[in-house]
Amino acid sequence: MSIDSIPTIDLSPFFTNSDENGQKKAIEIIKKACSEYGFFQIVNHGIPLDLMSQAIQLSKTFFAFPYEEKLKYSPGSDAPLPAGYRKQPDNSPDKNEYLLMFQPQSGFNVLPTNPPDFRAAMEEMFTYFSLTGVLIETILNDCLGLPTNFLKEYNQDRSWDLMSAKHYFPATETENIGISRHEDGNVITFIYQDDVGGLEVLRDGQWIPVVPSQAQGTLVVNVGDVIQVLTNKKFKSATHRVTRPKRKSRYSFSYFYNLQVDKWVEPLPHFTTQIGEPPKYRGFLYKDYLSLRIRNKTHPPSNPEDEINITHYAIST
């Protein structure tokens, strides 16, 4: 497959009820992209373009502040995840700093008051992203031929969704990794990247760049491990990474459409018993998987290849 094969889907048919044909076409392309790639891009997704570019602009202003200023927004100690400002530790292979938030009404958020409009823009982005998540989840439900609203009923609680604004430092002479290779553990991830580039997807052993098109408000969508397990690997959670160019900072927003942590995750009967396929994963409690992933970061194994990922639950055949 060639570089331009990460498809971009126009979602406008889903905002005008009458365009069933347009919806069908989009669903076909998304279905193919999820089973081959686990990655696709969307435009006309309903998030206002001026909000998106304003949010990136404000994030640039925020990250340009002195470190001490940014540290004022360090995460509170009671939060289940570090909501607030963090810089990756110096020994981490990931060279970025970020601002992480839960849904706007969460009591855990520590959001900057400076630049003045940043907090409102982050909250508004969050709200729009969560609507996009519901829409894409509904589309995936259709692509998979699941009963109407199946995924929606399985995944109703938005209080574990996360959004991060990230700033990647320019590459040095000796290293250029921004985020090392990984798969996302959640349900669906959305990425809005600036025009610098650097996001890459692994396909057939090759790193394929996801070419940015910020002006169109293009969002990258990637399927996470939860979908991969539920569908018994019919849909792929793609391996991806971020590399950094020299002399340029890179800014992005990621939205992690997540799952309530007490949920049980296992291959659905639709993709196993009902079609005579053996399950490829054993079931697990989502929070147990999250703890193992957090442990990768707090107690990194000496060999990065030993980091725990979804293959931890794989059933060998």
* Residues lying near ligand AKG in the complex (CB under 6 A): 166, 179, 184, 191, 193, 199, 240, 242, 252, 254
How far apart CA 88 and CA 126 sit, in angstroms, is 23
For tokens 């969560």, the residue is 130
DSSP helix/strand/coil, 175: coil
Which CB sits closer to ligand AKG, 76 or 209?
209
> To the nearest whole angstrom, how small is the minimum distance from the Cβ of residue 258 to Fe ion?
13
With contact defined as beta carbons under 8 Å apart, do 9 and 29 qualify? yes
Angle at 193 between CA 190 and CA 195, to 5 degrees: 155
The yes or no reply on residue 225 touching Fe ion (CB under 5 A) is: no
Please work out the total of residues on this chain that contact Fe ion, with binding judged by CB under 5 A: 1
194 binds Fe ion (CB under 5 A): no
The interface partner of residue 141, options being ligand AKG, Fe ion, none and the CB cut-off 5 to 8 Å by kind, is none
CB of 254: closest distance to ligand AKG in angstroms?
4
Is residue 292 packed enough to be buried (19+ CB in 10 Å), middle (13-18) or exposed (0-12)? Answer: middle
Nearer to ligand AKG (CB atom), residue 137 or residue 184: 184
Asked if residue 221 lies in contact with residue 190, where contact means CB atoms within 8 angstroms, the answer is yes
CB of 209 to ligand AKG, least distance (A): 11
Copy the structure tokens of residue 210: 């996801």
The distance of closest approach from Cβ of residue 129 to ligand AKG in the complex, given in angstroms and rounded to an integer, is 13
Q: Which is nearer to ligand AKG, 23 or 186 (CB)?
A: 186
Contact stretch for Fe ion (CB under 5 A) within 10-18, 109-117, 184-192, 267-275: 184-192
To ligand AKG, the closest distance from the beta carbon of 79 in angstroms equals 18
184 binds Fe ion (CB under 5 A): yes
Compare residues 218 and 254 and give the one whose CB is closer to ligand AKG: 254
Distances (CA, A) of 103 to 115, 124, 160, 163, 204: 20, 10, 8, 8, 36
What span, in angstroms and rounded, lies between the C-alpha atoms of 171 and 177? 8
Smallest distance, Å, CB 66 to Fe ion? 28
Q: Which does 94 bind (CB under 5 to 8 A by kind): Fe ion, ligand AKG, none?
A: none
d(CA 164, CA 255): 7
Identify the CA nearest to 30 among candidates 14, 49, 47: 14
Residue number with the shortest CB distance to ligand AKG?
A: 252
Q: Is the Cβ of residue 86 or residue 240 nearer to ligand AKG in the bound state?
A: 240
Minimal distance in Å, beta carbon 161 to ligand AKG? 14
CA–CA separation, 122 and 267 (whole Å): 35
Binding site for Fe ion (CB under 5 A): 184
